[in-house]
Amino acid sequence: MLLALIRHGQTDWNLAGRMQGRTDIPLNDTGREQARVAASALAAEPWDAVVSSPLGRARETAEIIASTIGVPLGSPYDELIEQDFGAAEGTLVAELDARWPDRDFADKEPDHEVGPRGIRALERIARDHGRVRLLAVAHGTLIRHALAAITGHDARHYPRLDNASSSMLRFTDASWQVLTVGGAEFADVRRGLDGPVDPARLAG
């Protein structure tokens, strides 16, 4: 299986720099155009279907991609939903450190649970779809944690993913391999995975 994990298009909260998490903010017009541009780039290769997180911004991104490249839109996967940031959702990212220096937001989904949940999503998608080429639209923090769980790195060291960017994975011999991260070759990204944590990467 070849699978592209795609971050949803832009929302008004993305544009304003607000923590989004599971708050169901829709795409804005820029986000819809980003989805169309991403679909045009993805159309250069054959794909079998598109699935997504159940949140509206991911679902609409998936719908735009599916209709643009002419492939079926599959059911949403709850495991692809974004990390729950609890009390911090809606807060400007620039204000997080002043309000929560340890990022210990009330009602937050624990960081250590996000990567394993992402892996469960990938495993269920693989069981449901078999040896296909699949697109899966999800969320920046979920994708980073899933990639980190595969490669054994700290998710906070992964680069922040642009809206509508793709990270390619291959599933062979019962294991996942990361090929690209946000369009960059994993071999290039790997050089920075043991560096210091950049707080800007934690925006979700």
Which segments of 26-139 does DSSP mark as H helices, in order? Answer: 29-42, 56-69, 96-99, 111-129
Residues 6 or more apart from 149 whose CB is under 8 A from it? 115, 116, 118, 119, 155
**Residue 139 is among the residues annotated as catalytic for this protein:** no
Rounded Cα distance, 204 and 187, in Å: 24
**Residue 109 is among the residues annotated as catalytic for this protein:** no
Question: One digit per residue, pLDDT tens: the chain, 204 residues?
Answer: 999 999 999 999 999 999 999 999 999 999 999 999 999 999 999 999 999 999 999 999 999 999 999 999 999 999 999 999 999 999 999 999 999 999 999 999 999 999 999 999 999 999 999 999 999 999 999 999 999 999 999 999 999 999 999 999 999 988 999 999 999 999 999 988 976 555 554 444
Say if CB 46 and CB 14 are below 8 A apart: no
What pLDDT shows up at residue 173?
85
Looking only at Cα atoms, what is the longest distance across the chain? 47
Q: Is residue 7 a known part of a binding site?
A: yes
Q: Is residue 9 a known part of a binding site?
A: yes
- The DSSP element (H or E) to which 180 belongs, if any, is strand 180-181
- Full set of structural domains in the chain with CATH: 2-202 (3.40.50.1240)
Structure tokens at 62: 């998936």
Which of helix, strand or coil describes residue 152? Answer: coil
Q: Is residue 13 a known part of a binding site?
A: yes
What pLDDT shows up at residue 99?
96
What pLDDT shows up at residue 174?
85
What pLDDT shows up at residue 191?
87
Say if CB 171 and CB 126 are below 8 A apart: yes
Structure tokens at 59: 């679902």
For the entire predicted model, the pTM comes to 0.94
- The DSSP element (H or E) to which 143 belongs, if any, is helix 140-151
Q: Is residue 10 a known part of a binding site?
A: yes
Choice among 8, 139, 145, 157 that is catalytic:
8
Q: Which long-range contacts (CB under 8 A, 24 or more apart) does 189-198 make?
A: 189/158, 189/159, 190/151, 192/157, 192/159, 193/151, 193/153, 193/154, 193/157, 193/158, 194/153, 194/157, 195/157, 197/154, 197/156, 197/157, 198/156, 198/160
Choice among 60, 79, 82, 89 that is catalytic:
82
